[in-house]
A and B are shown apart, each in its own frame.
Chain A
Amino acid sequence: MSRYFKAEITENKKLNNDCNLLTFVPFRKPAEPKPGQFFMIGMEGDYDPLLKRPFSLFRRTQRGFQILYRIRGRGTSLMRNLGRGSVIHVLGPLGNSYPMPPEDHAPVIVAGGIGIASVFSLAERLAAARNKAHIYYGARGASDLLMVGALKKAAKRLSLTTDDGSCGERGCITDMLSVFSWGASSERNTVIYACGPRKMLETVAGIAAGRGIEAYVSMEENMACGIGACLGCVVKTVSGHKRVCKEGPVFNAKEIVW
C-alpha cells in the first residue's frame, strides 16, 4: 500500500466551461483515503509543469478515485488535455481529514465554488452514517453549481446561492448561513465543515465563533512536496506556522489567524 503510485486515467469528463471530473485507477492498491484528504498529481512531461498539484479526494469509485478540478493555470490547463489511458504520478492520500461529528451533533457543510470537491465525500460519508448534513453551496452561476443531483440525495437539506441569482438565492452563501436560525439549544450540537475561498472561510469562522459553534475549515496554500518536508505550504495559526499538507488541510477554524 504505497502512497506513491502510477495511475491510469479512465475518464476526464468536462462538466462545464472550466471544471472537469477526472477518474483514475491506480496500478497498485493504495491506502484508503478519508474525506478531506488530498492527492498530489503529476503528469509525464519535460518538467512542465514541474511540481505536482494538490487535489482533494472527490469520490471513491469501485476501482479508482475521482477528483473534481477547476482550470486555473498552466498545470490544470494541461491536465484538461489528458485523455483516457494517460498515466499520472500520484502521491497520497495525504493530510488529515474532516473529523466525523458525534452522533447527536447535526453537521452543516458550507461549500464555495470548487470547494465542493473536498466536502462532497464528507456529505456522502455522513449520509452513509445516517447523519445527513444541511449543505450550503454557493457558486458564481447556475452552470457552476456541480453535482447538485447527488448532493440533494446526500443532504438533509440543500441550500443553494449564486452570485447572479441564476439558481437558488442570489448572493453569498455565507449571507444565507448567517441568517439561518438553528435555535439556541441546537447550536451547541452543530458542527460546521467548510471549504472554499479564503474570504468565505474567514466569514464562516466568524459566524461560528459568534454563535459558539465548532467549525472545521479546509485551507489551501501552494505546495511543493505535499508530505511535510519543504515547509512551503504553511498557514498562520494561533500556535505558529502549520503545514497545510501535514497538520491540515483541515483545521479547527479557531486555530487560524485570518
Chain B
Amino acid sequence: MNLSVQIGKLKLKNPVMTASGTFGYAEEYSEFIDLNRLGAVVVKGLSLTPKEGNPPPRIIETPAGMLNAIGLQNIGIESFIQEKLPFLKRFHTPVIVNFFGDSIDEYAEAAKSLSAAEGVHGLEMNISCPNKQAGWRIFGTDPKVTFEVVSAVRKSTNLTLIVKLSPNVTDIALMARVAQDAGADAVSLINTLTGLAIDIKTRRPKLANVTGGLSGPAVKPVAVRMVWEVYRSVKIPIIGMGGIMSSDDALEFLLAGAAAVAVGTANFINPRATIDILSGIEAYMRDNRVTDVKDLTGGMI
C-alpha cells in the first residue's frame, strides 16, 4: 500500500499533516503521538518580529465549531529557529513553517530568513487570516495583490511554497490560479471563515476582537466544496482542511481533489486525532483495495 504523496519538492510519507495554529510548535503534542508518523508538521504562523496577538477572550464555541481570534500571536522567526527548531530536527518528519508579513517586503524577508534555517523543509504563506485588519486582508482577497506577494516570496525561496487560501472570497478557484501563476508549488485550503457571536444578555460580542475565524465540523461542507472547485482549475497539489475530525472526513477531501489533508481543530478534541485519521485512511484503502492513496485524489464520481 502506497501512502506517500508529493507536494512540490517534498515527498511526504503519508497525506496527513497538521493545520497551522492548532498544533503549536509540535512539541506540545509529542507526549501524545509519535511525530515521526505524520506526513508533515505545520507550525503556528510566524512573523519577522514577535507579535502579542489579540486581547482575550480569544475563543468561543459555536454549534459544531469554534470561533478564534488569536491574532497571530507568535514568538518571531528568530526565537523559533533558536528555541523550537532544534526539537523538531530530532524527527524525520518534514517541517513546514507557516508565516506571514505586514507588507510584501516583510513576506519576502520572512521567507528568506526561514529558507536559510537548516531544518525548515517547506513554507506555507498565510495570506488568509481573518483576524487581521481589512488593509491586511487584501493579500488574500485581491487577486492583483495576491499575485504580487506570492511572486515576491517565490523569488526569495527555493523551498516548497504552499499558499494558504482564504474562503472569504467570491471565487476561490480564481485565487488558486493566481497563486499557481505566481509560482506556488501547492495551495492549502481553507483557512477559517469570518464569523461573529453575540452574548444576548450583555449585547456584547463574545470575542474581544468582535469577529473571529470559524473552524471545526461546521465548516466542512464549505471546505470540501472549495477543494473540489479548486481541483478543477489548477494543476498544483491541494492540501485540504476544514473540519476534519475523522478519516471519513479526510477521505471526502481526498475524493474532492486534495492530495493531502491537514487536521486542525480536531487536535483539541483528541490529541491523537492525526494518528487515528491516518489509521482510518489505511483501513479504508485495505477494505476498498486501493493500493495507492494518490488514486483517491479527485476520485469523486
Chain A residues within CB distance 8 Å of chain B: 2-4, 42, 47-52, 74-75, 89, 91, 221-236, 240-241
Mask of B55-69 contacts with A, CB within 8 angstroms, 1/0 = 111111101111010
Which of A4, A228, A231 is within 8 Å of B53, CB to CB?
A: A231
Cα–Cα distance between A3 and B29 once the two chains are bound (Å): 11
Establish whether residues A89 and B270, one from each chain, have CB atoms under 8 Å apart when the complex forms: yes
Q: Is B216 a contact of A229 with CB atoms below 8 Å?
A: no
Q: Once the chains are docked, how many angstroms separate the CA of A166 from the CA of B55? A: 39
Can you spell out 7 A-B residue pairs with CB atoms less than 8 angstroms apart? A42-B269, A48-B64, A51-B66, A225-B24, A228-B24, A229-B22, A233-B56
Decide if B61 touches A49 in the complex (CB within 8 Å).
yes
Contacts of B245 in A (CB 8 A): 47
| With known contacts A229-B22, A230-B21, A50–B217 Cβ distance under 8 A | yes
Q: Does B272 contact A (CB under 8 A)?
A: yes
Q: Is A91 touching B60 in the complex (CB atoms < 8 A)?
A: no
List A contacts of B265 (CB < 8 A).
50, 224
Complex CA–CA separation, A223 to B60 (angstroms): 8
Verify B28–A225 contact, CB threshold 8 A.
yes
Contacting residues, chain B, for A240 (C-beta < 8 A):
52
Residue of A nearest to B60 (CB): A222
Give complex CA distance A89, B58 in Å: 24
- Is A3's CB under 8 angstroms from B270's CB? no
Is the pair A234, B56 in contact by a Cβ cutoff of 8 Å?
A: yes
Chain B residues with Cβ under 8 A from A47's Cβ?
A: 64, 216-217, 245
Q: Is B32 an interface residue (CB 8 A)?
A: yes
Mark B25-61 against chain A: 1 for CB-CB distance below 8 A, else 0: 0001101100000000000100000001101111111
Q: Contacts A230-B268, A241-B73 known; list 19 others, CB within 8 Å.
A: A2-B32, A3-B32, A51-B66, A51-B268, A74-B61, A222-B56, A224-B265, A225-B28, A225-B267, A227-B24, A229-B24, A229-B28, A230-B22, A230-B68, A231-B58, A232-B70, A234-B56, A235-B56, A236-B56
Chain B residues with Cβ below 8 Å from A91 are: 271
Q: Is the interface of A mostly helix, strand, loop or mixed?
A: loop
A50 adjacent to B68 (CB under 8 Å): no
Q: Does B107 sit at the interface, judged by CB under 8 A?
A: no
C-alpha gap A49/B73 in the complex (Å)? 26
B61 engages A50 (CB within 8 Å): yes
Q: How far is the CA of A52 from the CA of B268 in the complex (A)?
A: 8
Residues in B whose Cβ lies below 8 Å from that of A236: 55-56
Measured between beta carbons, the chain A residues less than 8 angstroms from B70 are 230-232
**Chain A residue at smallest Cβ distance from B207:** A222
List the 8 closest A-B pairs by CB distance, nearest first.
A229-B24, A232-B59, A229-B28, A224-B268, A225-B268, A47-B64, A232-B58, A231-B70
Whether the pair B269, A50 counts as a contact (CB closer than 8 A) is: yes
Q: Is the interface of B mostly helix, strand, loop or mixed?
A: loop
Chain A hits for B31, CB < 8 A: 2-3
Please, which residues of chain B bring their CB within 8 A of the CB of A227? 24, 28-29, 271
Q: Are A51 and B61 in contact (CB under 8 A)?
A: yes
A221–B57 CB distance below 8 A: yes
Best-surrounded residue of B22, B23, B56, B268 (most CB of chain A within 10 A): B268
* Chain A residue nearest to B50 in the complex (CB): A240
In the assembled complex, the CB of B206 is this many whole angstroms from the nearest CB of chain A, namely 9
Q: Output the least CB separation between A15 and chain B (Å).
A: 25
Assess whether B268 is in contact with A241, with CB atoms less than 8 Å apart: no
Contact, CB under 8 Å: A222 / B59: yes
CB distance from A248 to the nearest CB of B (A): 12
The distance from the CB of A91 to the nearest CB of chain B, in whole angstroms, is 7
Q: Chain A's nearest CB lies how many Å from the CB of B244? A: 12
Inter-chain contact B59/A223, CB cutoff 8 Å: yes
Q: Give Cα A223 to B264, complex, Å.
A: 15
* Among candidates A2, A89, A224, residue contacting B66 with C-beta atoms closer than 8 Å: A224
**Contacting pair B269 A52 (CB below 8 A):** yes
- Chain A residues in 8 Å Cβ range of B267: 225, 229
In the bound complex, residues from chain B placing their C-beta under 8 Å from that of A228 are 24, 28
Q: In whole angstroms, what is the CA distance A53 to B63 when docked?
A: 15
Residues of B within 8 A of A231 (CB): 21, 44, 53, 58, 70, 73
B91 to chain A, nearest CB (A): 17
Chain B residues within an 8 Å CB radius of A224:
59, 66, 68, 265, 268
Closest to B243 in A: A47
- Please indicate the chain A residues that have their CB under 8 angstroms from the CB of B32 in the complex: 2-4
Q: Scan residues 66-84 of chain B and give those whose CB is less than 8 A from a CB of chain A.
A: 66, 68, 70, 73
B262 CB to closest chain A CB (Å) equals 14
Bound Cα distance A227, B21 (Å): 13
Among B64, B66, B271, find the residue whose CB has the most chain A CB atoms closer than 10 A. Answer: B271
